Amino acid sequence: MTLTGVNVTDKNYTHWQSIDWQKANRVVKNLRRRIFKATREKRWKTLRNLQRLLMKSYSNILLAVRRCTQLNQGKRTPGVDGLVVLNPTGRGILVDSLTKFIPWKPLPAKRVYIPKSNGKKRPLGIPTLIDRCLQAIVKNALEPCWEAQFEGISYGFRPGRSAHDALEKIFCGLRPNGRKKWVVDADIQGCFDNISHEFLMDKIGNFPARKLIQKWLKAGYVEKGAFHTTEAGTPQGGIVSPLLANIALHGMEDALGIKYDKRGQIIGNRIVVRYADDFVCLCETFEDAQLAIEQLKLWLGQRGLKLSESKTRIVHITEGFDFLGFNIRHYRDSNSKSGYKLLTKPSKKAIKEIRDKLRHLWLKYKSNSVKELISVLNPIIRGWANYHRKGVARKIFESLDQWMHKRARRYAKRKHPNKNDTWRKQKYFGRFNLSRKDNWVFGDHSSGIHLLKFSWFNIERHVLIPGKSSPDDPNPEIQKWFISKRKRDSRNQKKSWQKIAKNQQFVCPVCKESLFNTEELHVHHVIPKSKGGKDSYQNLQLVHLMCHQRIHYGKP
């Protein structure tokens, strides 16, 4: 079902292609920063007024609709009402509907299952499109208030933070010359499904959209046509759910007795690092690690949660543990004063998963052209390598390259079983990447497209986000840090895009937002090639996909 039946000549109708996204982003960003500042300064009346203002803001509604109908991966997935919006006219109608909204009764979520890496399936609750948009609107008002309160050791599903920050924090806490050698490798059992609604609503307090959040929590879900009530939990799949989970899990440092001095240095024998519902606690002794588990059990119990007995364990750092796709461990090193060195490597599980994924694609596209095959392999290689290049991954990258080379030769032999190796080498291999002296790059000579190699991605150290820093903080020094982060994020792009991004100060020239805010990027020719424009850096701009569409609509 789609939105139709509107008079698009109506002057009051939102014309999607004419929206000033630069203004919309600026309005929402400024209000979020004012909410953050009011929270830090404990001006509660001002805070609530600003939150109401943002939830009624036309700009916030625009960004919410854009997020839910254009940017989110699930934009084509309908809820129980079957509604999806995939065209500009429908988006304009949706915006106008939300600006005139009467009190809303949320519909139940649609229960679907997605495969997990261990072969099991994870349940997701897909809200209706209207509910998703409303959740995005509410999230923009609620999130900056909590960004001003969240602990610095919380890194999951928060703006400006990543899994690499969590890993770097652990790395800093487990240095060989330090005293913390024992790790509580913890797992919360069914976190999203079991969070206490009563506890969560108490934490949210008198937030203006409190009743609407409570309705979402109690809306239930539909599975195979049958309705099920929800007495606990916040369903994975909802836009506001990760934020609600972070709110419920806020305060873990206090529960473990972790304090900070005036310089921001930890006072005590423990460090906890959390990424959403995954966390580790670093301790000095085995006995203290056992005590930490008991304290966490009591603390989680107040939230309706508990640790998984089978998955929660205490390990010595010389044994190592896996966290967010990496294995973290102390190795013996005779050249070190402590006798050990700390290495963070891609985990065996992560390596197996990438091999299985690539093997599946090699087999699936074995009859396709080289160009089609490489176009699906390269994004997978780039994404995995960019993520794992932050660890000690050089040898693993080289091993994966050797494995991929064997797959490429097998592909060529399957395509041309009657040709000899020399012929197949000339057909499928060559020095495609002129910046490297490598004549064994797999590719298509007619188009120049070639397969990336893992080893082409340089290993680099991640720069840890400082303390409680947030992009919602108006502090100029904090904003300066996030500007430098944009520059570092550009390194994950291809070399030509890095150069274009640098020329643009790493900002999209249309909406003036960071190029690297997870939106898909396109290259725009300022002077179209049809009018004599060239593929020169002076004639190229890097823009977000939706901004590119707006340019070609004639509203730059």
Q: Mention every residue, 6+ apart, whose C-beta is less than 8 A from residue 321.
A: 183, 185, 280, 315, 327, 328, 329
d(CA 336, CA 341): 7
Q: Report the Cα–Cα distance between both ends of the chain, in Å, rounded.
A: 31
Rg (CA), the chain: 26
**What pLDDT, on the 0 to 100 scale, is given for residue 554?**
52
Same domain, 123 and 176: no
- What percentage of residues in the chain have a pLDDT greater than 70? 97
Same domain, 432 and 298: no
Same domain, 101 and 168: no
d(CA 307, CA 190): 9
**Is 238 contained in some domain?**
no
Residue 470 has pLDDT above 80, yes or no: yes
The SS3 of residue 290 is helix
**What pLDDT, on the 0 to 100 scale, is given for residue 215?**
96
Same domain, 429 and 380: yes
Structure tokens belonging to residue 38: 């009011």
Q: Mention every residue, 6+ apart, whose C-beta is less than 8 A from residue 293.
A: 184, 186, 307, 312, 314
**Is 83 contained in some domain?**
yes
Same domain, 32 and 112: yes
d(CA 67, CA 75): 9
Q: For 77-118, write each residue's pLDDT tens digit.
A: 999 999 999 899 999 999 999 998 777 899 999 999 988 776
Enter the pTM of the model.
0.91
Tell me how many domains the chain contains: 4
Q: Which of 84-93, 186-195, 256-265, 346-355 has the lowest mean pLDDT?
A: 256-265
Q: What is the DSSP string of 33-64?
A: HHHHHHHHTT-HHHHHHHHHHHHH-HHHHHHH
Spatial CA neighbour of 94 closest among 132, 126, 52: 132
CATH number at residue 322: 3.30.70.270
Q: For 295-305, write each residue's pLDDT tens digit.
A: 999 999 999 99
- What percentage of residues in the chain have a pLDDT greater than 90? 72
Q: Which has more confidence, 115 or 416?
A: 416
Tell me what the mean pLDDT of segment 34-39 comes to.
98
**What pLDDT, on the 0 to 100 scale, is given for residue 4?**
45
Spatial CA neighbour of 443 closest among 533, 374, 513: 374
d(CA 408, CA 438): 15
Quote the domain boundaries for residue 116.
16-149+197-231
**Is 42 contained in some domain?**
yes
Q: Which of 123-132, 170-179, 405-414, 514-523 has the lowest mean pLDDT?
A: 514-523
Same domain, 495 and 427: no
CATH number at residue 495: 1.10.30
Same domain, 282 and 173: yes
Same domain, 143 and 224: yes
Tell me what the mean pLDDT of segment 377-399 comes to.
97
d(CA 104, CA 55): 14
Same domain, 450 and 413: yes
Same domain, 354 and 337: no
**Is 7 contained in some domain?**
no
**What pLDDT, on the 0 to 100 scale, is given for residue 3?**
54
Q: How confident is the model at residue 268 (pLDDT cuts 50, 70, 90)?
A: confident
Angstrom distances, CA of residue 98 to CA of 57, 84, 417: 11, 15, 61
Residue 400 has pLDDT above 80, yes or no: yes
